[in-house]
């Protein structure tokens, strides 16, 4: 018998036992943690990408027609401001710019009725 009293065959047996105890089971904790972290990172990437795609809806540069109205409104065309407000997506940069007559009012009035 080797030093330490364990049988040489298999390396896991009780002293002098044939076959002995099976090897210890491996823990799946590392695998589970790795999958959880990887899944969380994937979800974060999806959220960031969707946020960028959806967040750019209705901001200057995302729609050529609304950009044209934005430019005309900025140049002082009050009808273009009202058209921009009416045609833009709700709660968008376009809508706010049209509502405030290109930043000349606090909003809530038709720009064609304003005298600048």
Residue 39 has pLDDT above 80, yes or no: yes
A 10 A CB-CB count for 49 gives 10
Proportion of the chain above pLDDT 70, given as a percent: 75
Cα–Cα distance list, 1 to 6, 18, 21, 23, 36 (Å): 7, 13, 17, 20, 46
**Residue 31 has what pLDDT?**
80
Provide Rg for the chain, Cα atoms: 35
pLDDT digits (tens, 9 = 90+) for 43-97: 878 877 766 656 556 899 899 999 999 999 999 999 999 999 999 999 999 999 9
**Residue 48 has what pLDDT?**
72
Angle among Cα 110, 112, 115 to the nearest 5 degrees reads 105
Residue 4 has pLDDT above 60, yes or no: no
Return d(Cα 114, Cα 116) in angstroms, integer: 6
Enter the tokens of residue 95.
């809508």
**Residue 66 has what pLDDT?**
96
**Residue 57 has what pLDDT?**
66
Residue 114 has pLDDT above 80, yes or no: yes
Average pLDDT, the chain: 82
**Residue 53 has what pLDDT?**
58
Q: How many residues does the chain have?
A: 116
A 10 A CB-CB count for 100 gives 18
């Amino acid at each position: 018998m080797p030093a330490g009293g364990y049988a040489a065959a298999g390396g896991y047996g009780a002293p002098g036992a044939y076959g002995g105890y099976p090897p210890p089971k491996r823990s799946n904790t590392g695998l589970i943690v790795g999958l959880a972290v990887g899944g969380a990172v994937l979800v974060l990437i999806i959220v960031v990408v969707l946020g960028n795609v959806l967040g750019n809806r209705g901001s200057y540069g995302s729609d050529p027609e609304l950009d044209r109205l934005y430019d005309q409104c900025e140049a002082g065309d009050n009808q273009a401001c009202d058209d921009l407000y009416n045609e833009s997506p709700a709660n968008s940069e376009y809508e706010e710019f049209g509502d405030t007559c290109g930043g000349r009012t606090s909003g809530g009035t038709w720009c064609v009725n304003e005298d600048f």
